[in-house]
Amino acid sequence: MTRRDSATTFPGDSEQRGAGGNRASFAALPFASCFAYLPGGNGPVCEEGRFLRTRLKAADRVWLARLAAQVWLEAVGHGRFASALGARAVLVPVPGSARVQGAAWVGERLAWCLKEVGLAAAVWPVLRRRHAVRKSAFAAAGERPSVIEHYASFVIDGAPWVTRMSDSDLVVRDACGPGLRLTLIDDVITRGRTLLAAAGRLREAFPRAEIRAFALLRTLASGETLLRVLDPCEGEVRWVSDDARRCP
């Protein structure tokens, strides 16, 4: 079920809004993920999860293709991810923290792998960074980029208003139409700040589209237990107390 929030507001590009200023809010974002890992956990399962994350961040094309095939098995064999992926989904890769021109990033390579196995109609790499943000992996918990910082760094490049969507010649003639299904694609979701901010930008450009997110790997909190790395999940990211909150 798609959630709508008619009261959602977003910070203007020329304004900095935060504590003590005008408040910004973001609509709830449904998300799905296929794998999980626990950064500080002990044991072989946790080591397997960290190894998967390392290979994922390396953006190895062969490794990404194998992971996409596993997502396909979960989708086709077990009926998972139907709301985020599928023959009508248009995948929008989420850029990394740096401003990169002319090079594919992990999210974009993953999106193309998912399309190649039949889990998408098209890939639209229209979301870009206008400037870099701090890399969350190397920042302390309190110094990671906020939702507002991510939002301010994102920009939508010229949207493909007319595009071939699939081999069946389905064509989108109005990208703002109610039938458009956009799915943000990222490699890892932790709190969900990046995805929530990216969804805000997409809603500006495509106000009538259904927007969801898919992250290949989900980070577990220190108090959680990782039972297995292959751990499909569906939930949502919400704007709570001026920050993103992922559930589960």
pLDDT digits (tens, 9 = 90+) for 14-31: 333 433 344 578 999 999
Q: Please count the structural domains in the chain.
A: 1
pLDDT at 86: 97
Task: Report how far residue 26's alpha carbon sits from residue 43's, in angstroms, rounded to the nearest whole number.
Answer: 38
Residue 102 inside a domain? The answer is: yes
Confidence of residue 182 (pLDDT cuts 50, 70, 90): very high
Higher pLDDT, 237 or 135: 237
The residues, ordered by sequence, that sit 6+ positions from 230 with a Cβ below 8 Å of its Cβ are 34, 35, 70, 74
Residue 89 inside a domain? The answer is: yes
pTM assigned to the model: 0.85
What CATH number is associated with residue 127? 3.40.50
Residue 14 inside a domain? The answer is: no
Residue 22 inside a domain? The answer is: no
Residue 176 inside a domain? The answer is: yes
Confidence of residue 102 (pLDDT cuts 50, 70, 90): low
Residue 144 inside a domain? The answer is: yes
pLDDT at 177: 53
Between CA 248 and CA 41, with CA 65 as vertex, the angle to 5 degrees is 40
Task: Report how far residue 74's alpha carbon sits from residue 76's, in angstroms, rounded to the nearest whole number.
Answer: 6
Residue 93 inside a domain? The answer is: yes
pLDDT at 178: 61
Residue 16 inside a domain? The answer is: no
Question: Which structural domain range is residue 120 located in?
Answer: 29-247
pLDDT at 143: 75
pLDDT at 54: 94
